[in-house]
Homo-oligomer: A and B are copies of this chain.
């Protein structure tokens, strides 16, 4: 899986990587149990510091998306906990996006099509 960093983005690098890995797991590009690159390998590949990648992995681990052990590196978790609900933050963020889209004249159907595409 290829990680792309937008260096001009307001989103911190460690968060950009985190988001792309989460989307990769959801889309199936990263499968349950699949090995992630080592902290050093990913840092080298992207051209950033190992600390930054390390921060990403620790975040993903805390969120329950991946597991890390010192022997095998990081792997996608087999059993990701399912709360069944959308977080309040994501709900608010979704509302903001829908509002902006509506004001831009984007039809509701267009948004639902994106849901179908991304889900």
Contacts and interface: CB of A to CB of B under 8 A. Distances in A.
What number of copies of this chain does the assembly contain?
Answer: 4
A110 B83 CA distance: 14
Contacts of A100: 22, 26, 86-87, 90
Judged by DSSP, the binding face of A is helix
A94 B106 contact: no
B99 A118 contact: yes
Nearest to A83: B104
Contacts of A103: 22, 25-26, 65, 80, 82
Interface of A: 7-9, 19, 22-23, 25-27, 62, 65, 67, 69, 77, 80, 82-87, 89-106, 108, 110-112, 114-116, 118-119
